[in-house]
Structure 1
Amino acid sequence: MIDLLVAGGGPAGLAAAIHAARVGMQAVVVEPRAAPVDKACGEGIMPSGVAALRSLGVEVSGHDLRGIRYLAGARRAEATFHGSPGLGVRRTELHAALYQRAVELGVRIVPGKVGEIRQAHDRVSAAGLTARWLIAADGLHSPLRRELGLDRPGGAYPRRYGMRRHYRIAPWTDFVEVHWSRHGEAYVTPVGDNLVGVAVLSRDRCSYDEHLMAFPALAAVLGGRGANSVRGAGPLRQRARSQRAGRALLVGDAAGYVDALTGEGIALAMATAAAAVSCLAAARPQAYPAQWARLTRRHRLLTEGLLRAARYPATARLIVPAAHRAPAAFRAAVHALQ
């Protein structure tokens, strides 16, 4: 019987397997997709996420990020990170580096998909494997969250979606730029010497190019330089009744997700993966939901606050002017998230 079965070989699942291997647990990852895996992602990693990757022995190349900048017309607000920079990195580069590190540490990665889960008092069985513990890291729309009875309806919140495309253009800034409009947001993240990623977030269902038209100055800079096709994801908000069911724990996006608005997905995936494995190594899975709540609290509160303000055009147009007029408050918010 293996120690840990990880369902899902994205960043959260691979990080969990790496943590497990580093504390002497035998880990197997079940993942249906071939590496490296790409997906719709803003591709900006907060400084805490960069530090977490390095602590795992994972080094990725990309573009250093000095901070966050909000823009709306002529108004802007910006805050630099304390200490170390963040990093803009292609999702495929990040996945390849995590995959390689997991293999180096003896993690077995097998093709397949986890479906039915059977639990006993001392074991869990799925995908033809039996383990002491299971970590479900199968993404935003986690089938295993439903299989474990942990899926929770999203409520009456507006559904929001994200789409991302890359552009062959030299980065003009070392900040993540967040452009605001009454329809949504556009995130510009430098990820290479001649490559930027642009992700749009909105509750409106229309094409990527139609979304980009809400940001005419940005669209003019990017025009004709598209490097690849558009990738999309959503609805973004996903909720879980708990992050634990018996001997199974949820990590990363599978554990619950508010929105991509504050760009902490990878940092939170690293943090929740570490916490989950720490609880399992101590045979205290019951402690994990409280640890998850503590690790994600600031992100959830700040993101919910911004979403409420952005929900209505009358208040959405005030976000950047307010940040511009209160730079200390904006810096404090960015530093709380980094």
Structure 2
Amino acid sequence: MSVDIDVVVVGGGPVGLASAIEARLAGLTVAIIEPRDSTIDKACGEGLMPGALPLLARLGVDPAGMPLRGVSYLSPHRRADHLFRTGAGRGVRRTALHDALLSRAEQLGVERLCSRVETFTQDSAGVTVNGLRAGWLFGADGLHSAVRRIAGLDDPRPAGTRRYGLRQHFAVAPWSDLIEVHWAEHAEVYVTPVAADTVGIAILGPQRTDFAATVRGIPALAERLDGATAASSLRGAGPFRQRALTPSAGRVLLVGDASGYVDAITGEGLRLGLDQARLAVAHVTGGAGYDRAWARSTRDFRRLTSGLVRAATGPLRGVIVPAASALPQVYGAVVERLAR
């Protein structure tokens, strides 16, 4: 059976758009299926690690934002700063990133179909979805991926501790060019400058975490935000911990959060998703097997982040910042490994 299109991407967020751009740059025909026809936002920290920027640049995308020189861990009585050795990252509003990627995808002729995927079928020659026959399907539809579920790739094992995200922006000039991570009693609070007059505050913690109460519980941060006007509505996301049995099944490849995600604690999700988009297209055009390449790409993230999440949700939580302060070389090595 002939195909209508080489690749159909389910999900029109940043990773879905990046996947479509990668495919077009490789000479493939592409369509995106996404039910939302407006700019897509998400509750996230919005800090692009240094390793994400070259991946965007190779797609021809350079979103506006604020330079990020490093990461600072803070507790009431300790702090640990690390400056990136491989160049600055960038704080970018998720909406600005989405619009930049969308503009590039449209420039390259990516077709967009406003629809929701309820089911699909596949055989040895292709995938049929929403009446469209494609050679390959990329599932880039996020944490709660319908593609992962329909393909039978949801991991039924208990996911362990599940945490959730909250995010809101405030109209205040950034006071630092570091990503600040404030370690509160039960949550981490990420402060990311995203414009000359705006900072994003993202909170990662257990379900029903109170945003305002958590910020008030960090006096130094509460003082910075005192009197500041909210520049966006409060958004939530999660649970973040999701697993897939494998990142692919036949001609269906899971990309980004759909392929499994440990936690948002290290800000690595977007860099990994961009890299997986590259790997998925390499697989389609005759490169190495996707599952093995995916495992190599995510290995450090899965190991380091899983360890940090275990510490953050267990009895060692209180020693994370003191240990990072006392062992700057170890702390810096972990940050650098994840930042690349």
Which whole-Å CA distance do the structure 1 matches of 2:15 and 2:287 have between them?
A: 20
Q: Which moved more, 1:273-282 or 1:211-220?
A: 211-220
**Matching residue of 1:280:** 284
The percentage of counterpart residues that share the same residue type is 49
Equivalences for 1:184-199 in 2 at 5 Å? 184-199=187-202
Q: Is the 8 A contact 1:168 1:194 kept in 2?
A: yes
SS of the aligned residue for 1:114 comes to coil
Letter in 2 for 1:304: S
Q: Which moved more, 1:216-225 or 1:59-68?
A: 216-225
Of the three residues 27, 36, 39, the one matched with 1:24 is 27
Which whole-Å CA distance do the structure 2 matches of 1:75 and 1:154 have between them?
A: 38
Which whole-Å CA distance do the structure 1 matches of 2:232 and 2:21 have between them?
A: 31
Which whole-Å CA distance do the structure 2 matches of 1:252 and 1:223 have between them?
A: 36
Q: Is the 8 A contact 2:159 2:242 kept in 1?
A: no
Letter in 2 for 1:235: P
- What does the per-residue CA deviation read over 1:159-208, in whole Å, with 9 as the maximum and x for residues that have no partner? 10000000111000000000002211000000000100000011242331
Of the three residues 30, 54, 57, the one matched with 1:54 is 57
Does 2:148 match 1:135?
A: no
**Matching residue of 1:310:** 312
**Matching residue of 1:335:** 336
What 5-or-longer segments of structure 1 have no aligned partner? Answer: none
Equivalences for 1:283-294 in 2 at 5 Å? 287-294=289-296
Of the three residues 5, 12, 15, the one matched with 1:9 is 12
**Matching residue of 1:323:** 324
**Matching residue of 1:91:** 94
Aligned residue pair count: 335
Q: Is the 8 A contact 2:159 2:241 kept in 1?
A: no
Letter in 2 for 1:215: I
Of the three residues 247, 251, 271, the one matched with 1:247 is 251
Of the three residues 273, 286, 299, the one matched with 1:269 is 273
Which whole-Å CA distance do the structure 2 matches of 1:84 and 1:101 have between them?
A: 25
Equivalences for 1:81-120 in 2 at 5 Å? 81-120=84-123
**Matching residue of 1:39:** 42
Q: Is the 8 A contact 1:154 1:238 kept in 2?
A: no
Which whole-Å CA distance do the structure 2 matches of 1:306 and 1:16 have between them?
A: 29
Which whole-Å CA distance do the structure 1 matches of 2:278 and 2:238 have between them?
A: 26
SS of the aligned residue for 1:187 comes to strand
Q: Is the 8 A contact 1:47 1:84 kept in 2?
A: yes
Q: Is the 8 A contact 1:69 1:175 kept in 2?
A: yes
Does 2:178 match 1:175?
A: yes
- What does the per-residue CA deviation read over 1:16-68, in whole Å, with 9 as the maximum and x for residues that have no partner? 11011011100001111123211111100011111100111001100000011
**Matching residue of 1:126:** 129
TM-score, length-scaled by structure 1: 0.96
What 5-or-longer segments of structure 2 have no aligned partner? Answer: none
Which whole-Å CA distance do the structure 2 matches of 1:323 and 1:196 have between them?
A: 25
Q: Is the 8 A contact 1:52 1:271 kept in 2?
A: yes
Letter in 2 for 1:241: L
Runs of 4+ that moved beyond 4 A? none
Q: Is the 8 A contact 1:117 1:124 kept in 2?
A: yes
How far did residue 214 of structure 1 move? 3.0
Q: Which moved more, 1:149-158 or 1:161-170?
A: 149-158
Letter in 2 for 1:218: L
RMSD (Å), alpha carbons: 1.2
Which whole-Å CA distance do the structure 1 matches of 2:137 and 2:159 have between them?
A: 32
Q: Is the 8 A contact 1:35 1:96 kept in 2?
A: no
Which whole-Å CA distance do the structure 2 matches of 1:37 and 1:308 have between them?
A: 31
Which whole-Å CA distance do the structure 2 matches of 1:41 and 1:321 have between them?
A: 26
How far did residue 333 of structure 1 move? 0.6
Q: Is the 8 A contact 1:183 1:214 kept in 2?
A: no
Q: Is the 8 A contact 1:9 1:31 kept in 2?
A: yes
Which whole-Å CA distance do the structure 1 matches of 2:224 and 2:332 have between them?
A: 27
